[in-house]
């Protein structure tokens, strides 16, 4: 595990760069992590991130299909918002663990 200061918050990350404590997350942390992924966050990004956090905190499993069926974005839009691994990147930016459906 690694400790890192992101947006003025001391964050603990696992070996893959995911927050180990979702409570350390806030929108400023998300913006900085997104910049590491070369993504500039928009309101639509935050809709997806907040949905992911809500689902994770409710104990729901996440998949690209589930996000696409949530009515926020379709699967194609999800790939456009988070290119190169939409669920992995969006989960990392949302401050939640990598979903089990991601390899």
- pLDDT tens digit sequence for 40-62: 999 999 999 999 999 999 999 89
- Residue 102 annotated among the catalytic residues of the structure: yes
Query: Bigger pLDDT: 102 or 67?
Result: 67
Q: Where are the domains of the chain?
A: 2-94
Confidence band of 1 (pLDDT split at 50, 70, 90): confident
Q: pLDDT for 6-21, tens place per residue?
A: 888 899 999 998 999 9
Length of the chain: 103
Where residue 94 falls (left for φ over 0; alpha for ψ -120 to 50; beta otherwise) is alpha
pLDDT reported for residue 102:
67
Annotated catalytic residue within 9, 70, 72, 102 = 102
Confidence band of 75 (pLDDT split at 50, 70, 90): very high
Is the pLDDT at 103 greater than 70? The verdict is no
Rounded Cα gap, residues 22 and 56, in angstroms = 10
């Amino acid at each position: 595990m690694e400790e890192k200061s992101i947006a003025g918050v001391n964050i603990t990350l696992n070996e893959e760069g995911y927050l180990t404590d979702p409570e350390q997350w806030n929108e400023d942390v998300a913006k900085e992590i997104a910049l590491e992924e070369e993504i500039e966050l928009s309101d639509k990004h935050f809709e997806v991130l907040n949905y992911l956090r809500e689902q994770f905190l409710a104990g729901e499993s996440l998949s690209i299909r589930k996000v696409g069926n949530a009515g926020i974005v379709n699967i194609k839009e999800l790939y456009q918002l988070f290119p190169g691994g939409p669920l992995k990147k969006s989960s990392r930016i949302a401050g939640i663990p990598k979903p089990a459906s991601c390899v």
